[in-house]
Amino acid sequence: MEADKPVRIGNDDVPTIIRDTMTAKDLKSIEKNDTRKGLKHGLTRLLNIIPWAGGVAAGEIELAFDIRDANFFRNYIAYLYGLNDTTEEQRQKFLEEVEKTAEDYSGNVIAGMISRIDNINKGEVLSNLTKAKMSGAITIEDFFRVSNAVERIPYSDFKYLPTFQEDNYIEGGVTEILYASGVIFQSIVGAETKFRLSPIGVNLLVYGLYQQVTISADNRVSVRPEWEVVDGVASFK
């Protein structure tokens, strides 16, 4: 690579960058996002783990995109950082399953997923779900369903999910948003309609947000065999 020739990164490069970085041998050099260091610092760390861009310096990166794309890379770096304790083989197998199920190039699928999240913290939630799929705790279909819910729910509404472990209704549009995203279902229909966590909502809480879920006596929420239930509390093993 010529020292005086900048590495130009545009939208067409994104799927390849995603595929190549996710299948890199070691992700330990990926740092948690630090806004004080700027986007170029994070991109330098990102690009240096793939052979065709290895050794690039921050000053040699030419960003050919706007603020929306900058947010995309911030979210993707957060997602990838969450996978730094996984192996190359695990990530490769995961991408193969993504391609087989989505019938599309895995770089495109993950790029689309990251582009639809509106909060950097959701990147970590998606990485948690990815690791749950890698470990076999959820299926690839579960991964896509729960990821879709993550994309659609405002991050500020995640905190309300645990309240739907019992029949509940929250005014102000919270219930409607969660219901439309598939994470709760109508448990009581009538004068006072109530809602409760759906299997998608339970998967999001347990595997995406790492929260325990209390299972009620009538066990309306299905519990996966991989879960450990102690005194009515479900958590992943």
Instruction: For the chain of 237 residues, list the mean pLDDT of each consecutive stretch of 10.
Output: 52 81 81 56 58 47 54 88 93 97 96 94 96 96 98 96 94 96 92 92 95 66 47 46
pTM of the model as a whole: 0.80
Each residue of 196-228: pLDDT tens digit?
Answer: 999 999 999 999 999 988 765 554 554 444 445
Each residue of 112-124: pLDDT tens digit?
Answer: 999 999 999 999 9
State both tokens at 161: 């999910």
Residue 164 CB partners (closer than 8 Å, separation 6+)? 178, 183, 184, 195, 196, 197, 201
